[in-house]
Chain A
Amino acid sequence: MPELHRVDARDKLLGRTRYIDDVNPPGVLHAAFVVSPAHRGRIRRVVLPPGFDQAAFTIVGSGDIPGVNLVPEPVSDEPFLAVDEALWRGQPILAVAHPDRDTARAFARAVQVVVDEEEAVTDPAIALDDESRVFGRELLIDHGTHEPPEERWLHLSRTYTTPHQEQAYLEPQGMLAEWDVDARHMRVTGSMQCPFFVKEAVEVILGDEVAEVSVCQAEGVGGAFGGKEDFPNVMAGTVALLAWRSGQPVKLVLERDDDLLITPKRHPSRITIESWTDRTSGRLRRLDIDYRLDAGACQTLSPVVLARGVLHVAGGYSCPAVRVRGRLFHSDTPPNGAFRGFGAPQGLFALEAHIDDIAAELSLDPATFRQRNVMHAADSFPTTQPVAEDNLADCLNELLSQCSYDSLRADIDTWNMAHRHKLGIGLSLGFHGGGYTGGGETRLASRVCITLHPDGAAEVLAANVEMGQGASTTLAVCAAQGLGLPLSRVRTAVPDTARVPNSGPTVASRTIYIVGNMLRRLGANIREELGDIDEWCEKAGDELPRTFEATYQPDPAATFDEDTYRGAAYRHYSWAACAAMVQVDADTSEVRIEKMWSVVDAGALVHPGIAMGQVYGGMTQACGWSLGEWWHKPGHGRLGSLTDYALPTAVDAPPFDVRFLHTDSDISKGLGELPMDYPAPAVRNAVLHATGIAIDDLPLLPERLAARLRKDNTSVC
Chain B
Amino acid sequence: MNTLIPDSLGQLLELLAENIPGTELLAGGTDFNVQCRKGVLNPNRVLCIGHLDELKGIRLDGEHLRLGALTTFAEVVANELLQGHVPDFCRALAHFASPPVRNLATLGGNIANASPTADSVPPLLVRLASLELRSVRGVRQLPLNEFFTGYKRTAMAQDELITAVLLPVNAEDGLHSYWRKVGTRRALTIAKLSLAGMGRIENGQLSECRLAAGALNEYPRRLTAVEQHALTTPLAAITRESLNEALRRDITPIDDLRSDADYRFETCLNLLQTCLRDWSDHA
Indicate if the CB atoms of B267 and A649 lie closer than 8 Å: no
Indicate if the CB atoms of A702 and B255 lie closer than 8 Å: no
Q: Could you say which residues of chain A place their CB within 8 Å of the CB of B186?
A: 592, 649, 651-652
Selected A-B contacts with CB under 8 Å, 23 pairs: A586-B270, A587-B267, A587-B271, A588-B267, A588-B270, A589-B267, A590-B182, A592-B186, A628-B185, A639-B257, A646-B184, A646-B185, A649-B98, A649-B187, A649-B188, A650-B187, A651-B187, A652-B185, A702-B182, A706-B262, A706-B267, A707-B262, A707-B263
* Interface membership of B282, Cβ < 8 A: no
Q: Digit string of A615-631 for contact with B (CB within 8 Å is 1, else 0)?
A: 00000000000011000
* Interface membership of B274, Cβ < 8 A: yes
Give the distance in Å from the alpha carbon of A636 to the alpha carbon of B261 in the complex: 13
Indicate if the CB atoms of B266 and A710 lie closer than 8 Å: yes
- Tally of A-B Cβ pairs under 8 angstroms: 64
| Chain A min CB distance to B98 (Å) | 7
B220-265 residues with Cβ-Cβ distance < 8 A to A are 255-260, 262-263
Indicate if the CB atoms of A648 and B263 lie closer than 8 Å: no
* Interface membership of B189, Cβ < 8 A: yes
Give the distance in Å from the alpha carbon of A618 to the alpha carbon of B257 in the complex: 27
Indicate if the CB atoms of B185 and A649 lie closer than 8 Å: yes
* Interface membership of B175, Cβ < 8 A: no
Q: Could you say which residues of chain A place their CB within 8 Å of the CB of B180?
A: 587-588
Indicate if the CB atoms of B257 and A652 lie closer than 8 Å: no
Partner of A703, one of B38, B263, B273: B263
* Interface membership of A644, Cβ < 8 A: yes
Give the distance in Å from the alpha carbon of A649 to the alpha carbon of B180 in the complex: 19
A642-667 residues with Cβ-Cβ distance < 8 A to B are 643-644, 646-652
| Chain A min CB distance to B188 (Å) | 5
Chain B contact residues: helix, strand, loop or mixed: loop
Query: Total interface residues on B, using CB and 8 Å?
Result: 25
* Interface membership of A184, Cβ < 8 A: no
* Interface membership of B55, Cβ < 8 A: no
Q: Could you say which residues of chain B place their CB within 8 Å of the CB of A707?
A: 262-263
* Interface membership of B47, Cβ < 8 A: no
Chain A contact residues: helix, strand, loop or mixed: loop
| Chain A min CB distance to B214 (Å) | 14
* Interface membership of B104, Cβ < 8 A: no
| Chain A min CB distance to B115 (Å) | 12
* Interface membership of A633, Cβ < 8 A: yes
Indicate if the CB atoms of A635 and B255 lie closer than 8 Å: yes
B265-283 residues with Cβ-Cβ distance < 8 A to A are 266-267, 270-271, 273-274
Q: Which 9 A-B pairs have the closest CB atoms?
A: A587-B270, A646-B184, A703-B263, A646-B185, A651-B187, A649-B187, A651-B186, A636-B257, A652-B186
Give the distance in Å from the alpha carbon of A627 to the alpha carbon of B185 in the complex: 9
| Chain A min CB distance to B212 (Å) | 17
Give the distance in Å from the alpha carbon of A643 to the alpha carbon of B256 in the complex: 14
Closest to B34 in A: A643
| Chain B min CB distance to A258 (Å) | 12
Query: Total interface residues on A, using CB and 8 Å?
Result: 28
Q: Could you say which residues of chain A place their CB within 8 Å of the CB of B188?
A: 649
- A positions within 8 Å CB-CB of B: 586-590, 592, 627-628, 633, 635-637, 639, 641, 643-644, 646-652, 702-703, 706-707, 710
Indicate if the CB atoms of B263 and A706 lie closer than 8 Å: yes
Give the distance in Å from the alpha carbon of A327 to the alpha carbon of B177 in the complex: 55
Give the distance in Å from the alpha carbon of A644 to the alpha carbon of B258 in the complex: 7
Indicate if the CB atoms of A588 and B184 lie closer than 8 Å: no
Q: Could you say which residues of chain A place their CB within 8 Å of the CB of B187?
A: 649-652
Indicate if the CB atoms of A628 and B184 lie closer than 8 Å: yes
Given contacts A589-B267, A636-B257, 17 further A-B contacts (CB under 8 A): A586-B270, A586-B274, A587-B273, A588-B267, A633-B257, A635-B255, A636-B255, A644-B258, A646-B185, A648-B185, A649-B188, A650-B187, A651-B187, A652-B186, A702-B263, A703-B260, A706-B263
| Chain A min CB distance to B62 (Å) | 39
Q: Digit string of B156-186 for contact with A (CB within 8 Å is 1, else 0)?
A: 0000000000000000000000001010111
Give the distance in Å from the alpha carbon of A582 to the alpha carbon of B110 in the complex: 33
Indicate if the CB atoms of A644 and B255 lie closer than 8 Å: no
Partner of A646, one of B189, B260, B270, B274: B189
* Interface membership of B46, Cβ < 8 A: no
Give the distance in Å from the alpha carbon of A331 to the alpha carbon of B132 in the complex: 55
Give the distance in Å from the alpha carbon of A647 to the alpha carbon of B263 in the complex: 21
Q: Could you say which residues of chain A place their CB within 8 Å of the CB of B52?
A: none
Partner of B266, one of A633, A635, A641, A706: A706
Q: Could you say which residues of chain A place their CB within 8 Å of the CB of B189?
A: 646
Q: Could you say which residues of chain A place their CB within 8 Å of the CB of B266?
A: 706, 710
Give the distance in Å from the alpha carbon of A586 to the alpha carbon of B182 in the complex: 13
* Interface membership of B94, Cβ < 8 A: no
Give the distance in Å from the alpha carbon of A650 to the alpha carbon of B100 in the complex: 14
Q: With A587-B274, A636-B255, A649-B185 in contact, is A644–B263 under 8 Å at CB? A: no
Q: Could you say which residues of chain B place their CB within 8 Å of the CB of A627?
A: 185
Closest to A709 in B: B266
Indicate if the CB atoms of B263 and A643 lie closer than 8 Å: no
Q: Could you say which residues of chain A place their CB within 8 Å of the CB of B263?
A: 589, 702-703, 706-707
Give the distance in Å from the alpha carbon of A105 to the alpha carbon of B259 in the complex: 32
Give the distance in Å from the alpha carbon of A586 to the alpha carbon of B256 in the complex: 23
* Interface membership of B190, Cβ < 8 A: yes
Indicate if the CB atoms of A643 and B190 lie closer than 8 Å: yes
Give the distance in Å from the alpha carbon of A644 to the alpha carbon of B259 in the complex: 10
Q: Could you say which residues of chain B place their CB within 8 Å of the CB of A652?
A: 185-187
Q: Could you say which residues of chain B place their CB within 8 Å of the CB of A587?
A: 180, 267, 270-271, 273-274
Give the distance in Å from the alpha carbon of A635 to the alpha carbon of B274 in the complex: 32
Give the distance in Å from the alpha carbon of A703 to the alpha carbon of B190 in the complex: 16
| Chain A min CB distance to B101 (Å) | 12
Q: Could you say which residues of chain A place their CB within 8 Å of the CB of B182?
A: 588, 590, 702
Give the distance in Å from the alpha carbon of A51 to the alpha carbon of B189 in the complex: 39
Q: Could you say which residues of chain B place their CB within 8 Å of the CB of A706?
A: 262-263, 266-267
| Chain A min CB distance to B96 (Å) | 13
Give the distance in Å from the alpha carbon of A633 to the alpha carbon of B256 in the complex: 9
| Chain A min CB distance to B77 (Å) | 15
| Chain B min CB distance to A630 (Å) | 10
